[in-house]
Amino acid sequence: MLQFFQFEAEFVASLRCIPMQVRYKLDTCGVKLKLQHWFSFSIAQRQHLIELPCATDNEIKIYRETLRSLVFGYFNTYPSDLPIDPNSAWMETSSIPLGVLHHVEELNLVLALSQWQSFSPLQRFALIKLSTSNHENNNFLPALQEFGII
Residues for the chain: how many in total? 150
Residue 112 has a pLDDT of 95
Per-domain boundaries in the chain: 6-81, 89-146
Contact 5, 146 (CB under 8 A): yes
Coil, strand or helix: which one is 102?
Answer: helix
pLDDT per residue, tens digit, the chain (150 aa), is: 557 888 888 777 778 889 999 999 999 999 999 999 999 999 999 999 999 999 999 999 999 999 999 999 999 999 999 999 888 999 999 999 999 999 999 999 999 999 999 999 999 999 999 998 665 568 899 999 999 988
Residue 33 has a pLDDT of 96
Residue 121 has a pLDDT of 95
pTM over 0.75: yes
Buried b (16+ CB within 10 A) or exposed e, 80-104: eeeeeeeeebbeeeeebbeebeebb
Q: Indicate the helix (H) or strand (E) that contains 80.
A: strand 80-81
Tell how far CA 107 is from the center of its chain: 22
Tell how far CA 110 is from the center of its chain: 23
- As a whole number of angstroms, the distance between CA 90 and CA 10 comes to 24
DSSP state letter for 23: H
Residue 126 has a pLDDT of 95
Q: Is 58 exposed, middle or buried (0-12, 13-18, 19+ CB in 10 A)?
A: exposed
- As a whole number of angstroms, the distance between CA 98 and CA 114 comes to 16
